[in-house]
Amino acid sequence: MSGSEESGRVIAGRYRLLDRIGAGAYGTVWRAIDDLLDVSVAVKEVRIPAGESEQASADLITRVEREARAVAKLREHPSVITILDVVRDGDLPWIVMEWVPSTSLAQVLRERGPLGREETARIGLAVLDALVAAHAAGIVHRDVKPANILIGDDNRIVLVDFGVAVLESEPTITNGPIGTLAYMAPEQFHGVRAAPASDVFSLGVTLYYALTGVAPFTRVTDAATVAAVLQEHPPPPARADQVTSTILAMLDKDPLTRITASAARSRLAEATDRSRVRVGAPGAVDRGDESTSPISAAELARYGESRSGRAAGLLLILVSIGASVAPWTAEVFTDLPDWLRVAALFWSVLLGCWAVAFTYLFSRPDFLSIGPAGISYRCVGEDFTLVWEQIRSARVVDDHLEIELADGTQATRYQPRRTPPMPAAGSGLVFCRLTDLRGASAAGIESAIRSAFGARG
C-alpha cells in the first residue's frame, strides 16, 4: 500500500498511523497516535524488499526485534530514542518509540550547510555519550550517519535507528559490511566484525561533514567510495583546534590506534568546557564567571610596547641612518682611495638595510591583546594568536605570561631575551614578558582574562 493508503491504519488495535516521516533500508517510520493514551508516538514498520527469500525475510524481522532489545537497554539515556512497545501486526513486528519533534542532521546540513565549531562539538559530544553507553552494554550501532542523528526542537540530540546494530554477546546475522558505505570504517571492508571503533570512525566522518560541509569519502560510484574510505585521508579543516584534531583522530584508518569513544568524548568535553582555564597561581578561573563584567570586542584589554622599548627602537633607527650616511658627509672621506670608497658604500648599504628593518619594526610595535576571541601577541614584528579553545591554562609567573595549550603541546620556557613563543617539548608556552609591555601587571592581565571569558558567556 502507498503512504496515503496506510495513513489512518491502526496497528495492533492501538497505534493510528498519521504521516510517514522517514524510510531506511530496513523499515519505514511513521508518526502515529496512541489511541489509548492520546499521545504522539513514532512507529517503525519492517520493510521486506520484493523477491526476498523466506530466510532473508526472517532475518530482517529478527534484526528489527534485535533493535528493540538493544535500544530498550538504553532507555534511560537522553541521547538514545526510547522504546515504548513492540507489537505484531500482520505477522510483522512494529517498534513503538517516543515521538521527538526534530530534524535530522542530514536535513540540517542540506538546508543550512556546514555547522559552526561549537554546534558540531555539541552534537559529537551527545552522540559519543550515546555510543559510550551502547558500547558498555555490548551494542555496536554500525550505521552512524547524519540521517540517524536527530536534532530536537528543544535542541536535544538523539541517535536513532539501531536496526543494524550488533549485540556483541549474540551471534550476528552476517559479518558482512552492513551500513552506509561512505560512513563505514575501513576494517569493515576487510571482513572484520564491527566493533566500537567502527562507530567512532562513522561518527568522525559525520562530524567532519558537519564541520566542513564536505562528505570526505562520498564518491560517484560505490567502488570509488570504498576505495576512498580505504586509501584517502581527508584534508584537515582550515581551523586547527582540539575539536578538529579529535575528529581527525576518529578518522584513523587503523582501529587499533583510533581514538576510543570515551577518549573522544573527554577531548570534546574538554574543548567546550569553559572552567578549565586557570589564571595566576594557584586558583582556577571559571570562563563563565558572571561576577566579572563582560567586555566587548571593541574593549579588548591591550598593552602596548614599553616606553623604553619604543625609545630603544627609535634610537636604533637614528643611529643606523646616521652611521649609513656618515662616510659621505665627513670631509675626511673626500680623498679616500677607491677601495675604501667601495668599503664605505658597503657600510652604507648595510646600515641602510638595518635602518629600514628597524623602521619596519618601529612601525609594528609589540603589544598584548586579550579579548573574547583569545590572546594575541606581537613580538619583533611577528604576530602570534591563540583562541581560547586552544588554551588550557594561562598563568603569570615571574613577570611573564605562561600558557599551557589544551592539546598538550607545550613550549620552551622564557629565556632572558625577547624571544617569540616557539613550539617545543618542555614546560608551558611563554607568551610574553610583562616588563616588555607598557602598563602590564599580573593583576591587570588576570582581570582582563576573566572579563574576556565573561564576554564569551
Q: Does residue 113 sit in the same domain as residue 241?
A: yes
pLDDT of 290 over the 80 cut:
no
The more confidently predicted of residues 360 and 286 is: 360
Share of the chain above pLDDT 70, in %: 59
Q: For residue 384, what is the enclosing H or E element?
A: strand 382-387
pLDDT of 288 over the 50 cut:
no
Q: How many CB atoms lie within 10 A of CB 120?
A: 23
Q: First-to-last CA distance in the chain?
A: 53
Last residue of a domain, one of 99, 117, 147: 99
Helix pair angle (242-250, 117-136), 10° resolution = 40
Q: Say if residues 233 and 216 touch (Cβ distance below 8 Å).
A: no
Q: Does residue 123 sit in the same domain as residue 268?
A: yes
pLDDT tens figures, 374-389? 777 766 556 667 776 6
Q: Does residue 369 sit in the same domain as residue 348?
A: no
Confirm whether 90 is domain-assigned: yes
CA distance 74 to 413: 49
Q: Does residue 72 sit in the same domain as residue 165?
A: no
Q: Does residue 371 sit in the same domain as residue 337?
A: no
Confirm whether 286 is domain-assigned: no
Last residue of a domain, one of 99, 123, 139: 99
Range from 51-55, 164-168, 444-448 that averages highest in pLDDT: 51-55
Q: Does residue 124 sit in the same domain as residue 251?
A: yes
Confirm whether 83 is domain-assigned: yes
The more confidently predicted of residues 279 and 3 is: 3
How many domains does the chain contain in total?
4
Confirm whether 255 is domain-assigned: yes
Q: Does residue 118 sit in the same domain as residue 265?
A: yes
- Residue 46, classed as helix, strand or coil, is strand
Share of the chain above pLDDT 90, in %: 30
Q: Does residue 353 sit in the same domain as residue 423?
A: no
Q: For residue 67, what is the enclosing H or E element?
A: helix 54-72
Confirm whether 290 is domain-assigned: no
Q: For residue 6, what is the enclosing H or E element?
A: helix 3-6
Confirm whether 281 is domain-assigned: no
**Residues noted as catalytic:** 143
How far are the Cα atoms of 215, 264, 289 from residue 269, in angstroms, in the given order? 24, 8, 18
Q: Note down the domain range covering 6.
A: 1-99
- Residue 45, classed as helix, strand or coil, is strand
Q: What is the largest CA-CA distance in the chain?
A: 117
Q: Does residue 424 sit in the same domain as residue 402?
A: yes
pLDDT of 4 over the 70 cut:
no
What is the pLDDT averaged over residues 155-165? 79
Confirm whether 165 is domain-assigned: yes
Q: Does residue 106 sit in the same domain as residue 198?
A: yes
pLDDT tens figures, 336-356? 666 666 666 666 677 667 666
Q: Does residue 196 sit in the same domain as residue 330?
A: no
What is the pLDDT averaged over residues 429-435? 65
What is the pLDDT averaged over residues 152-158? 92
Angle at 195 between CA 189 and CA 198, to 5 degrees: 60
Q: Does residue 358 sit in the same domain as residue 413?
A: no
Query: Which residue stretches of 291-441 are H helix?
Result: 307-325, 338-363
Confirm whether 238 is domain-assigned: yes
pLDDT band at 406 (very low <50, low <70, confident <90, very high): low
pLDDT score for 429: 56
